[in-house]
């Protein structure tokens, strides 16, 4: 069974930090691209960050650029999203998604990702 599972969400104060994890099961992330998406109540799903299968391309949405960092640990078969300087508007359900590196498409084109995790909730509140 091919599966990605997110973890690390929680409640954090504005300006705080959290690190999300996306662990793959049933396959190795080598050769797969990973996208982080989020969806807040009343808003559409949006792309947050992207890590290409070869590691040569990393992308961030303008809203998180400079605050979030995506990385991959091949030994742990895990992709991380380190989130710093969290804002109230970062509150959302965060999803990890995967697609084979051979599939071409826009970095944040949700339709190109067919393997999704269950989501992990991030709530920024004082």
At 90 the pLDDT is 98
Residues 11-41 pLDDT 10s: 999 999 999 999 999 999 999 999 999 999 9
The pLDDT confidence band at residue 56, using thresholds 50, 70 and 90, is confident
What are 16's strand-pairing partners?
A: none
At 102 the pLDDT is 87
The pLDDT confidence band at residue 103, using thresholds 50, 70 and 90, is confident
DSSP 33: E
Residues 64-94 pLDDT 10s: 999 999 999 999 999 999 999 999 999 999 9
At 32 the pLDDT is 94
Q: How many CA atoms lie within 13 A of 24 on its CB side?
A: 25
Q: Are strands 10-12 and 120-124 parallel, antiparallel or unpaired?
A: parallel
Q: How many CA atoms lie within 13 A of 58 on its CB side?
A: 12
Can you tell me whether residue 59 is helix, strand or coil?
Answer: strand
The mean per-residue pLDDT over the stretch 86-105 comes to 94
Q: Exposed, middle or buried by CB within 10 Å (0-12, 13-18, 19+), for 96? A: buried
At 105 the pLDDT is 80
């Amino acid at each position: 069974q091919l599966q990605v599972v997110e973890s690390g969400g929680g409640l954090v104060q504005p300006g705080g930090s959290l690190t999300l994890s996306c662990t793959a099961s049933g396959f190795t992330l080598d050769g797969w691209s990973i996208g982080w998406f989020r969806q807040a109540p009343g808003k559409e799903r949006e792309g947050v960050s992207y890590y290409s299968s070869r590691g040569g391309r990393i992308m961030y949405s303008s809203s998180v650029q400079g605050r979030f960092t995506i990385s991959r640990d091949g030994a742990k078969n895990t992709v991380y999203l380190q989130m710093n300087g969290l804002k109230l508007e970062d509150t959302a359900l965060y999803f990890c998604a995967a697609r084979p590196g051979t599939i071409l498409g826009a970095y944040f084109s949700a339709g190109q990702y067919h393997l999704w995790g269950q989501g992990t909730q991030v709530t920024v509140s004082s």
